[in-house]
C-alpha cells in the first residue's frame, strides 16, 4: 500500500475569551495550508482542519489522537497550528478556542502533551508547522505566564529523537508573527504555502525537490523581505526550524508536477524565443508636455511627423519611467547598485536583478494625431517574481497583455483548420481571407488570443488585473490542449 500523508490543522482566529486579540488571517492560512497539501496528493479524508470555535481544547486533543492512531509506519504526519502561544514556567503552551486568560494551565494545551501524543504514532515521519501568534499586548492575568512565545526547547528535543522529525516555527521568541493585508495571509504561512506548491522557485532545491533545508533557506530570506515591503515599521521576524541541518527531508517532489505543467503548455517544435508583459496608453499629441504647434498638421506617418511626436513626448516617457523606478525601489527594497536607469528621448529602460522594464512613445499607427505610450516588462531572470503581490500590484496598472515571440512563424492555416474542427471554438474564431492572422475568443476563461507571424498575444476579454490575466492565459492553454489544439508553443527549459 502506498504511504499516505495525513494533515491535521488548527487555527483560532476568534477566541471565546475576549481578552485574546484575533490572529488575523489564521483561518485563511490554515485552509490554504491544507489545500496546498491536497495539491501535493493528500487525500481529503486524510485531512482534518479545526477552525476557531471548532478548535476547543477537547476537539484538538481528540482530533490529534485520532489522526495519530491512523498512521502506519510509512505514512507521514503534517501538523499546522495557528494561534496564541505562551510559556508557563519554561514550558510552552498552545491556546484553544475555549482557553481562558485567567486559567491558562487548566484550559490550554501544553506543548509537551501535544508532542507526547505524536510520539505515540507508529510513524516517525513528522513535520510540524507552528504559526505562534503571541500578542504584543498583555493577555494573561497569571504572572507565571510569559507572553514571549515558546522557547522551542521541547521542539528541539522532540526533533532530536528522530532524524525524520522536523518543526518549523514562524518566529523566534519575543518576535511577533505578522499578518499582511496586502497578502491576505500571515507572511510566514504565505511563504510556506508558496514553497509547498512550488510557486516559489527559491524554495526548490536540486532535483526539483522542496526539502526541509531548501524551504527554511527560502523562509529566512523571503519572510523578512515581505515584512519590509508589506508591513510598516522596523519589525523583525525570524523563521526557525528544528531538526537535522545536515540530513534534509524531502517535503515535495516537484519533478512530476513541473513536467506536467510544461506539457500543458505544449507546442510541437516551436519554442518561445521571448515573452513580455505589455500595455499601452493612447492620447492626443497636442496634450504632450513638449508639444508646440507644428507648421503643418499631423495627417500622415512620415519620418518628420514621427520624429516630432517622439520629441514632444520625451517628458512623458521620463516621468512614467521614474514613477515605475520609484515603485520598484520602495516595494522590492532594491539598492542603488541593483537598478540601472536610462532615458534617451522617446525611450527609457530600467534594468533590475529580476526583470527589465522598457518605456517608449511613438506616433499612433492608426491615428496620426495621437500618440502611443508603451510599457514592456521582459527578460525575467527570476520567473517566480510574477507571483509576487508587489509585482502584480505595480504592473496591473501598466500591463494588459502577454506577448509570446516564437522562434519561427506559426503555421496559421493549419491552426485555423484545427480550431474549425471544434464547433464551440469555431464560433469564436475570426481570420482574414489570406490567413495571415487570426483572433480566437475564449469566453471561458475570458481570454482573447491574437496570432500573426511569430507572435501570439493574450488579452483579457474584460477588465481585470494582472493576476487574472496570467491565470486565465494558463487556463486558455489548458483548454485548447484538452481540445487537441496544439498552438505550437513550447516553453524554453530553464
The three-state DSSP-derived secondary structure of the chain is CCCCEEEEEEECCCCCCCCCCCCCCHHHHHHHHHHHHHHCCCCHHHEEEEEHHHCCHHHHHHHHHHHHHHCCCCCEEEEEEEECEEEECCEEEECCCCCCCCCHHHHCEEHHHHHHHHHCCCCCCEEEEEEECCCCCCCCCCCCEECCCCCCHHHHHHHHCCCCEEEEECCCCCCCCCEECCCCEEHHHHHHHHHHHCCCHHHCCHHHEEEHHHHHHHHHHHHHHHHHHHCCCCCCCCCEEECCCCCCCEEEECHHHHHHHHHCCCCCCCEEEEEEEEEEEEEEHHHCCCCCCCCCCCCCCCHHHHHHHHHHCHHHHHHHHHHHHHHHHHHHCCCHHHCEEEEECCEEEEECCCCEEEEEEEECCCCCCEEEEEEEEECCCCHHHHHCHHHHHHHCCCCCEEEEEECCCCCHHHHHHHHHCCHHHHCCEEECCCCCEEEEEECCCCEEEEEECCEEEEEECCCCCHHHHHHHHHHHHHHHHHCCCCCCCECCCC
**Taking Cα atoms as reference points, which of 134, 231, 135 lies closest to residue 180?**
231
Indicate if 60 and 207 belong to the same structural domain.
yes
- Is 107 a domain residue? yes
Indicate if 51 and 109 belong to the same structural domain.
yes
* CA distances (Å), origin 397, targets 363, 392, 393: 22, 9, 8
Domain boundary among 228, 262, 296: 262
List, for residues 142-184, the tens digit of each pLDDT value: 666 666 667 788 999 999 999 999 999 999 888 888 888 878 8
Give the cell for residue 412: 496559421
Indicate if 179 and 323 belong to the same structural domain.
no
pLDDT of 236: 87
Q: Are 154 and 161 in contact (CB under 8 A)?
A: no
Q: Are 177 and 136 in contact (CB under 8 A)?
A: no
Q: What percent of the chain has pLDDT over 90?
A: 52
Which ranges of the chain have pLDDT less than 70? 1, 134-138, 141-149, 232-234, 256-273, 481-484, 486-494
What is the residue whose three cell numbers read 533590475?
A: 352
- Is 242 a domain residue? yes
Q: Are 184 and 175 in contact (CB under 8 A)?
A: no
Indicate if 297 and 323 belong to the same structural domain.
yes
Query: 162-192 b/e with 16+ CB inside 10 Å = b?
Result: eebbbbbbbbebebbbbbbebbebbbbbbbb
Q: Are 65 and 112 in contact (CB under 8 A)?
A: no
Indicate if 445 and 304 belong to the same structural domain.
no
Task: For residue 342, give its domain range.
Answer: 276-393
Report pTM: 0.57
Domain boundary among 262, 286, 304: 262
- Is 268 a domain residue? no
As a whole number of angstroms, the distance between CA 236 and CA 172 comes to 9
Indicate if 373 and 405 belong to the same structural domain.
no
pLDDT of 261: 40
Q: Are 22 and 64 in contact (CB under 8 A)?
A: no
Could you tell me if residue 316 is left (phi over 0), alpha (psi between -120 and 50 degrees) or otherwise beta? alpha
- Is 270 a domain residue? no
- Is 101 a domain residue? yes
Indicate if 105 and 187 belong to the same structural domain.
yes
Count of the separate structural domains present in the chain: 3
pLDDT of 262: 35
pLDDT of 488: 56
- Is 190 a domain residue? yes
As a whole number of angstroms, the distance between CA 312 and CA 287 comes to 9
Indicate if 17 and 159 belong to the same structural domain.
yes
pLDDT of 82: 95
- Is 155 a domain residue? yes
As a whole number of angstroms, the distance between CA 193 and CA 180 comes to 15
Domain boundary among 344, 365, 393: 393
Indicate if 159 and 13 belong to the same structural domain.
yes
Indicate if 373 and 425 belong to the same structural domain.
no
- Is 443 a domain residue? yes
As a whole number of angstroms, the distance between CA 112 and CA 127 comes to 16
Amino acid at each position: 500500500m502506498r504511504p499516505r500523508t495525513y494533515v491535521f490543522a488548527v487555527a483560532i482566529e476568534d477566541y471565546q475569551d475576549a481578552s485574546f486579540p484575533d490572529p488575523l488571517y489564521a483561518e485563511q492560512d490554515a485552509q490554504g495550508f491544507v489545500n496546498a497539501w491536497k495539491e501535493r496528493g493528500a487525500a481529503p479524508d486524510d485531512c482534518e482542519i479545526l477552525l476557531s470555535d471548532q478548535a476547543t481544547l477537547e476537539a484538538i486533543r481528540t482530533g490529534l489522537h485520532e489522526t495519530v492512531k491512523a498512521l502506519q509506519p510509512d505514512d507521514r504526519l503534517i501538523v499546522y497550528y495557528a494561534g496564541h502561544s505562551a510559556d508557563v514556567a519554561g514550558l510552552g503552551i498552545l491556546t484553544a478556542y475555549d482557553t481562558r486568560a485567567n486559567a491558562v494551565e487548566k484550559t490550554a494545551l501544553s506543548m509537551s502533551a501535544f508532542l507526547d501524543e505524536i510520539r505515540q504514532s507508529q510513524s516517525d515521519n513528522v513535520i510540524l508547522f507552528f504559526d505562534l501568534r503571541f500578542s504584543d499586548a498583555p493577555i494573561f492575568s497569571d504572572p507565571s505566564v510569559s507572553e514571549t512565545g515558546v522557547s522551542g526547547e521541547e521542539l528541539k528535543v522532540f526533533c532530536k529523537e528522530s532524524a525524520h522529525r522536523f518543526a518549523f516555527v514562524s518566529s523566534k521568541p519575543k518576535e511577533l508573527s505578522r499578518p499582511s493585508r496586502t497578502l491576505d495571509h500571515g507572511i510566514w504561512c504565505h511563504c510556506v504555502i508558496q514553497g509547498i506548491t512550488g510557486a516559489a522557485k527559491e524554495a526548490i532545491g536540486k532535483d526539483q525537490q522542496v526539502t526541509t533545508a531548501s524551504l527554511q533557506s527560502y523562509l529566512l530570506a523571503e519572510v523578512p523581505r515581505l515584512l519590509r515591503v508589506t508591513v510598516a515599521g522596523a519589525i523583525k521576524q525570524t523563521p526557525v526550524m528544528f531538526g537535522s541541518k545536515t540530513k534534509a527531508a524531502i517535503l515535495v517532489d516537484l519533478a512530476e508536477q513541473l513536467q506536467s505543467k510544461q506539457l500543458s503548455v505544449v507546442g510541437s517544435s516551436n519554442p518561445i524565443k521571448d515573452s513580455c508583459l505589455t500595455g499601452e496608453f493612447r492620447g492626443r499629441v497636442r496634450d504632450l508636455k513638449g508639444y508646440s504647434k507644428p507648421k503643418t498638421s499631423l495627417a500622415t506617418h512620415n519620418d518628420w511627423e514621427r520624429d516630432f511626436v517622439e520629441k514632444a513626448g520625451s517628458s512623458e516617457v521620463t516621468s512614467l519611467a521614474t514613477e515605475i523606478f520609484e515603485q520598484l525601489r520602495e516595494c522590492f527594497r532594491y539598492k542603488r547598485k541593483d537598478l540601472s536607469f536610462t532615458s534617451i528621448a522617446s525611450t527609457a529602460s530600467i534594468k533590475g536583478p529580476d526583470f527589465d522594464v522598457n518605456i517608449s512613445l511613438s506616433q499612433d499607427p492608426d491615428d496620426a494625431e495621437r500618440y502611443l505610450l508603451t510599457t514592456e516588462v521582459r527578460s525575467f531572470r527570476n520567473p517566480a517574481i510574477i507571483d509576487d503581490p508587489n509585482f502584480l500590484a505595480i504592473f496591473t496598472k501598466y500591463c494588459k497583455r502577454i506577448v509570446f515571440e516564437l522562434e519561427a512563424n506559426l503555421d496559421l492555416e493549419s491552426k485555423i483548420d484545427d480550431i474549425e474542427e471544434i464547433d464551440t471554438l469555431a464560433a469564436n474564431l475570426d481570420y482574414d481571407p489570406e490567413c495571415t492572422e487570426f483572433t480566437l475568443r475564449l469566453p471561458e476563461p475570458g481570454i482573447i488570443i491574437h496570432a500573426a507571424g511569430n507572435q501570439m498575444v493574450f488579452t483579457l476579454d474584460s477588465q481585470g488585473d494582472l493576476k487574472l490575466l496570467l491565470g486565465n492565459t494558463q487556463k486558455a492553454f489548458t483548454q485548447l490542449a484538452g481540445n487537441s489544439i496544439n498552438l505550437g508553443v513550447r516553453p524554453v527549459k530553464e
